[in-house]
Homo-oligomer: A and B are copies of this chain.
Amino acid sequence: METRELRYFVAVAEELHFGRAAERLGIAQPPLSRAIQQLERRLGVTLLERTRRSVTLTEAGSVLLREGRAALDAVDAADRRTRRAAPAAGPPKLVLVTKAGAESERLAKLLDAYAAEPDAAEVDVLLCGPGEQERLLRDGRADVGLLHRPFDSTAGFDVEELGTQGQVVILPAGHPLTTRPHVTTAEVAALPGLPLPRWPGPDGRYPDGPGPKVRDNTQLLQLIALGRACSILPESAGTYLADDLAAVPVPDAPQVTTVIAWPPHTHSRAVATLVRTATRL
């Protein structure tokens, strides 16, 4: 199976539409149809059920979509890591990825402590939305990440735990609940006029529901300040709040574990040092 075929199939499986998939791939529709047919013939498996009006994935198709994405990520990782290992790419750098707006104090301390190490490499920090970090680690755009269980999946990575924390609800300043010492998740879910916001899924689409759509932490905090939403976040997100926001502990929300994660089989002195530094903080 060639990566070209995999890319084609993944595009069709995601769009469920040959025309749009072809456009996305920058080729015409007929060659795409042929390529998929050929892939199905070579595998001996029907991947797509086409009625004249719609395209759906078969069971085997779903498997190939999931496995194919993983395989393409691995190929991309091989490409990127090889380029970066070239002498012309300069001294080795380290790309650390974390969720925008989270872990700022821990991150600052970590970067300082790491920079003090004798053989420290330069560290690029990549901030991204929720759910994107795993992808970046898998396809080689990042070397190491700070993740938060149970929100982020650490499946397939090597991991060290760095600490746990409770969660708080972020509310507009002056909201009645802000006088309380703590609240429950049930109370938060039932707050009139302050729905929990919706985050985009891995496919970039938003789930259905009442809450406003948000893409990053800034948007979220702004919406809360405006009294249009509230949100349950790890304590560390509630330490430095603007005056128009307030945090109240939610003891019955699940504990959040911060972990440092990196792809397995990483043979990088820099990653090892960074992880060691992080666990010693």
Spell out A's residues near B (CB within 8 Å): 1-4, 6, 43-47, 59-60, 62-64, 66-68, 70-71, 73-75, 77-79, 81-83, 85-88, 140, 155-158, 263-265, 267
Contacts and interface: CB of A to CB of B under 8 A. Distances in A.
A265 B155 contact: yes
- Residue of A45, A157, A267 with most partner-chain B CB within 10 A: A45
B46 A156 contact: no
A46 B87 CA distance: 9
B68 A1 contact: no
A62 B82 CA distance: 9
A82 to B, nearest CB: 4
Contacts of A88: 44-45
B78 A59 contact: no
Give the 5 A-B CB pairs with smallest separation, nearest first. Answer: A155-B264, A156-B264, A67-B78, A71-B74, A45-B86
A85 B66 contact: no
A113 B254 CA distance: 34
A86 B60 contact: yes
Contacts of A264: 155-156
Identical copies of this chain, number:
2
A82 B64 contact: yes
Contacts of A43: 79, 82-83, 86
A102 B110 CA distance: 43
Contacts of A64: 78, 81-82, 85
A155 B159 CA distance: 10
Contact of A70 (B46, B74, B83): B74
A45 B87 CA distance: 8
A120 to B, nearest CB: 20
A74 B67 CA distance: 7
Contacts of A79: 1, 43
A4 B6 contact: no
A26 to B, nearest CB: 17
A261 B47 CA distance: 28
Nearest to A266: B155
Contacts of A86: 43-46, 59-60
Contact of A67 (B3, B81, B156): B81
A45 B6 CA distance: 25
Nearest to A78: B67
A68 B77 CA distance: 9
A140 B78 CA distance: 19
Contacts of A73: 74
A155 to B, nearest CB: 4
Contacts of A46: 86
A267 B3 contact: no
